[in-house]
């Protein structure tokens, strides 16, 4: 056995080998050590190798999925080695024969299909990047849904495209130029494979064979790099699935400029689909997702990651939302039907890979039943084109649905081997066999009653186990009677245990043979019928995929309509102009958080960045904590929502289509790559200035703050000028460098705006209102006080600030003012003594009150007493 293990392991040296032994997957040697640590399970030993103990650990087969998920998340690849025959079959070759085993599947991050290993509401993409004579392409697929896409792109666009797709795994040619650093930055598992897998000629043959076509031209025109990337994906899937290729849809070529360009830093800053902590909670997606099907949720995720630049697409989606809003009752009925529709794509994928079961057949049936209902409901209403097309895609499954309805029971078991999932009346031979099997159980019961009467032992039972089969069991106290004549002539002794004695009869053995044959025969018939149903479903696979997309389309339209009604969002005007007018705009995530926490309502603000042929920039000043970053982000999010075809959180919105979205908000370092906070800031700013075109939307926050004051001011100044004169873009530029506000009088297209605050009794109150004009100060000391800095530190800061401002006003040297006028290295002043004030009658009265003990009438009386005490 160990020789067999080592041979199989040698062929999969880069993966942990799950070696099937009965009801466990066992691991040995270094695999066992690594797995035991990763899974926090016991490490034991079994046998010796070269004189040393062999480390060993294992996991139960029935619980393997959970362990697989843990290993995959920790960066391991797992080769699943199954028994290809039963021990009984192995013994036919000789008593010492080892059961045949081989790897049936290589589990990697991008090749998961089981529900337990996947996020139902998110795609799990596997991508491949190809380079053919300095032309590049990226292909990706989700084998759990069959999606299969490719795009040609320059090498510099690989990072943003990977950030958009967020694949779990990236397959590349095994060369020194492979993007190892980029994959690590984005948290993507990188898998180098042989360069021969990327050969475009071989790739074309693989693709044609997979889709059974003579040429790929029937799917579109693909260049060599695109064919190479697509073919490499198919080759890798063939390697990992051991010849059982998933059910892939025909490849779709995507245009480079069909979606808004959003780089990785901007996605991270805006928290579109993941928050800064890496979770779904706190992201824009988590707030707007009201879909009721997994397919609809995945579609929303993809649209939010890839806002479209096609105006016609946006308008058709908005028209679908209008229809759902205008027909709210009907939309609610549609959503109720959609809730009953299981995940068509993933059920179909499992069936194609032969990893499904009767419940996947039932899932197809349930989804198609709801599809028929949705089509009937929508077709009678004359919906807009998008919904009408979706409704049409839900038809044509009458024969398949009738077959599944007739064949399947209402609630089938999980596994085929469990049996009992074929409905009675569907197959006469199966009915006859199950009758024999089930009546056999009744016969056993009658036989037990007869034997109990015959022997005079009322506690006599007929039982069954996998070792003895059917047997008669009595307690040990009745053993002498059973083993003595005349009963011993009929009842044949088989086994004695501590408390029971077991027997059989010739009659029972013959009946057992009939029953067992009937049971096995029934199971074989059900397996055959399962394959027939599975084959019938796979024959409809292309149209089922289309229906799945139609269900997702209806789900997403009704979900976004429901969101817009409940949150009071408006329909945006989206066109090809360069307008950007937001009235009463709100940040959807912050607004939701305020509502959840019971705080004050969100303060809505306007933003106007209209530009005909030049730049349109707001230079935003104001203190920290006043809401500048929120204002910047909310306008970017409104633009994204508009271009996915959604209503937006505003009273009015007019948005000229944007081509790119750039965000430079927040500060962080990158120690692993030797980058300081300021270096990261400059790299991200450089990317914006080098790429932004005149249809981009740019939001910049605090450029230049990571270095000396004059350096930072100079960089911010030059950046603002470049955005205005070279990029000629629409932008929001937040800064604490108030000197920049003078640029509004010098540069066309630049306007000053500020976040309003109010001072009251030495404290700053944030109004969160954005107004035209410039701030005259940053209120940093007041914010520091709010943060809880010691009073002595705050007092000292005020003194230093006054000295600096005085030196600035008088044109003197700031450093000299500090040294000459302040005891810079003196000990910090002691904290002021606490102020003791005389207690008023109101204070005395309040001290005696226990609010939890007050009745409503007591509270009213107390108010009168307080009013009286306050006037005395």
Which residues lie closer than 8 Å to 472 by C-beta, 6 or more apart?
451, 460, 461, 462, 491, 502, 503, 504, 505, 508
Q: Is 697 buried (19+), middle (13-18) or exposed (0-12) by CB count in 10 A?
A: buried
The answer to the question of whether 2 is labelled as a binding residue is: no
The answer to the question of whether 239 is labelled as a binding residue is: no
Nearest to 701 by CA among 639, 634, 602: 634
Burial 241-269 (b: 16+ CB within 10 A, else e): beeeebbbbbbebbeeeebbbbbbbbbbb
Q: Is 637 buried (19+), middle (13-18) or exposed (0-12) by CB count in 10 A?
A: buried
Which residues lie closer than 8 Å to 280 by C-beta, 6 or more apart?
273, 274, 286
Report helix, strand or coil for 140: strand
Nearest to 125 by CA among 153, 172, 166, 90: 166
Cβ–Cβ < 8 Å for 384, 401 = no
CB atoms under 10 Å from CB of 847, counted, come to 8
Residue that the structure tokens 């029934």 belong to: 522
**Cα gap 852→872, rounded to integer Å:** 27
Half-sphere exposure of residue 211: CA atoms within 13 angstroms, side-chain side:
22
The answer to the question of whether 610 is labelled as a binding residue is: no
Residue that the structure tokens 């090498």 belong to: 155
Report helix, strand or coil for 752: strand
CA distances from residue 369 to 401, 532, 790, 868 in whole angstroms, order as listed: 7, 20, 67, 72
Which residues lie closer than 8 Å to 645 by C-beta, 6 or more apart?
303, 308, 313, 314, 315, 316, 317, 318, 320, 321, 560
Report helix, strand or coil for 137: strand
Tokens of 587: 């940040």
**Cα gap 278→297, rounded to integer Å:** 18
CB atoms under 10 Å from CB of 590, counted, come to 16
Cβ–Cβ < 8 Å for 233, 171 = yes
The answer to the question of whether 823 is labelled as a binding residue is: no
CA distances from residue 582 to 311, 318, 543, 606 in whole angstroms, order as listed: 19, 18, 42, 5
Half-sphere exposure of residue 247: CA atoms within 13 angstroms, side-chain side:
26
**Cα gap 771→546, rounded to integer Å:** 50
The answer to the question of whether 628 is labelled as a binding residue is: yes
The answer to the question of whether 622 is labelled as a binding residue is: yes
The answer to the question of whether 146 is labelled as a binding residue is: no
**Cα gap 238→197, rounded to integer Å:** 11
Tokens of 450: 């007869």
Report helix, strand or coil for 274: coil
The answer to the question of whether 458 is labelled as a binding residue is: no
Nearest to 583 by CA among 648, 660, 656: 648
- φ/ψ of 868, rounded to 5, equals -70, -40
Q: Is 775 buried (19+), middle (13-18) or exposed (0-12) by CB count in 10 A?
A: buried
**Cα gap 286→121, rounded to integer Å:** 11
Which residues lie closer than 8 Å to 513 by C-beta, 6 or more apart?
none
Nearest to 302 by CA among 343, 336, 248, 258: 258
Give binding residues for ATP as ranges.
622-629
Give binding residues as ranges.
622-629
């Amino acid at each position: 056995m160990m020789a067999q293990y080592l041979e199989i392991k040698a062929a999969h040296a880069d993966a942990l080998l799950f070696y099937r032994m009965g009801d466990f997957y066992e691991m040995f040697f270094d695999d066992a050590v690594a797995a035991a640590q990763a899974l926090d399970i016991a490490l034991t030993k079994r046998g010796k190798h070269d004189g040393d103990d062999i480390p060993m650990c294992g996991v139960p087969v029935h619980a393997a999925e959970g362990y697989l998920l843990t290993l995959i998340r920790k960066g391991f690849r797992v080769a699943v080695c199954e028994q290809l025959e039963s021990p009984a079959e192995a013994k036919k070759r000789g008593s010492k024969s080892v059961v045949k085993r081989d790897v049936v599947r290589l589990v990697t991050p991008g090749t998961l299909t089981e529900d337990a290993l996947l996020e139902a509401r998110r795609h799990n993409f596997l991508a491949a990047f190809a380079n053919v004579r300095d032309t590049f392409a990226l292909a990706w697929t989700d084998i759990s849904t069959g999606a299969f896409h490719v795009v040609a792109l320059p090498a510099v666009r690989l990072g943003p495209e990977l950030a958009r797709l967020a694949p779990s795994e990236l397959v590349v040619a095994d060369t020194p130029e492979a993007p190892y650093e980029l994959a690590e930055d984005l948290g993507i598992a990188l898998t180098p494979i042989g360069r021969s897998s990327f050969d475009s000629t071989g790739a074309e043959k693989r693709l044609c064979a997979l889709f059974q076509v003579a040429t790929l031209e029937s799917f579109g025109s693909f260049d060599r790099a695109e064919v190479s990337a697509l073919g490499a994906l198919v080759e890798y899937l063939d390697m990992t699935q051991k010849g059982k290729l998933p059910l892939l849809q025909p490849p779709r070529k995507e245009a480079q400029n069909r979606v808004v360009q959003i780089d990785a830093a901007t996605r991270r800053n805006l928290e579109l689909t993941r928050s800064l902590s890496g979770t779904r909670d706190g992201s824009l997606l988590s707030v707007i997702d009201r879909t009721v099907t997994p397919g609809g949720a995945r579609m929303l995720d993809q649209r939010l990651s890839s806002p479209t630049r096609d105006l016609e697409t946006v308008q058709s989606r908005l028209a679908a939302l209008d229809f759902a809003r205008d027909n709210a009752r009907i939309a609610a009925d549609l959503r109720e039907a959609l809730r009953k529709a299981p995940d068509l794509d993933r059920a179909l994928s499992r069936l194609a890979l032969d990893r499904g079961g009767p419940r996947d057949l039932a899932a197809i049936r349930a989804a198609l039943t709801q599809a028929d209902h949705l089509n009937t409901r929508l077709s009678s209403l004359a919906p807009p084109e998008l919904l009408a097309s979706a409704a049409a895609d839900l038809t044509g499954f009458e024969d398949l649905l009738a077959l599944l309805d007739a064949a399947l029971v209402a609630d089938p078991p999980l596994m085929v081997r469990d049996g009992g999932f074929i409905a009675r009346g569907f197959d006469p031979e199966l009915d006859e066999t199950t009758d024999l099997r089930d009546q056999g159980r009744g016969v056993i019961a009658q036989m037990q009653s007869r034997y109990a009467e015959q022997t005079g032992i009322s506690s006599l039972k007929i039982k069954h186990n996998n070792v003895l089969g059917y047997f008669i069991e009595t307690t040990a106290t009745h053993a002498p009677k059973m083993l003595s004549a005349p009963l011993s002539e009929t009842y044949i002794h088989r086994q004695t245990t501590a408390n029971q004695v077991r027997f059989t009869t010739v009659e029972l053995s013959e009946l057992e043979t009939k029953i067992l044959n009937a049971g096995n025969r029934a199971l074989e018939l059900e397996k055959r019928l399962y394959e027939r149903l599975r084959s019938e479903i796979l024959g409809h696979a292309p149209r089922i995929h289309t229906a799945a997309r139609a269900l997702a389309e209806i789900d997403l339209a009704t979900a976004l309509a429901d969101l817009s009604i409940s949150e009071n969002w408006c329909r945006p005007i989206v066109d090809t102009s360069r307008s950007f007018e937001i009235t009463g705009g709100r940040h959807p995530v912050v607004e939701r958080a305020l509502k959840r926490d019971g705080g004050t309502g969100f303060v809505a603000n306007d933003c106007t960045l209209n530009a005909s042929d030049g730049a349109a920039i707001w230079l935003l000043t104001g203190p920290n904590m006043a809401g500048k970053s929120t204002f910047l982000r909310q306008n970017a999010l409104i633009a994204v929502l508009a271009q996915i075809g959604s209503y937006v959180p505003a009273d009015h919105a007019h948005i000229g289509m944007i081509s790119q979205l750039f965000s430079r908000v927040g500060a962080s370092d990158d120690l692993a790559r030797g980058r300081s906070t300021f270096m990261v800031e400059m790299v991200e700013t450089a990317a914006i200035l080098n790429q932004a075109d005149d249809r981009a939307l740019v939001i910049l926050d605090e450029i230049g703050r990571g270095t000396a004051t004059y350096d930072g001011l100079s960089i911010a100044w030059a950046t603002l000028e470049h955005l205005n004169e070279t990029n000629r873009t629409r932008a929001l530029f937040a800064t604490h460098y108030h000197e920049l506000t003078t640029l509004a009088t010098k540069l066309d297209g630049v306007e000053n705006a500020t976040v309003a605050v109010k001072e009251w009794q030495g404290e700053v109150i944030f109004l969160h209102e954005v107004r035209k004009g410039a701030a005259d100060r940053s209120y940093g000391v007041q914010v520091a006080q709010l943060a809880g800095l010691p009073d002595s530190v705050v007092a000292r800061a005020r003194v230093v600030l006054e000295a600096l401002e005085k030196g600035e006003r008088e044109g003197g040297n700031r450093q000299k003012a500090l040294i000459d006028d302040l005891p810079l290295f003196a000990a910090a002043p002691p904290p002021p003594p606490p102020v003791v004030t005389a207690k008023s009658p109101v204070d005395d009265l309040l001290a005696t009150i226990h609010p939890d003990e007050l009745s409503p009438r007591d509270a009213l009386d107390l108010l009168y007493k307080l009013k009286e005490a306050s006037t005395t």
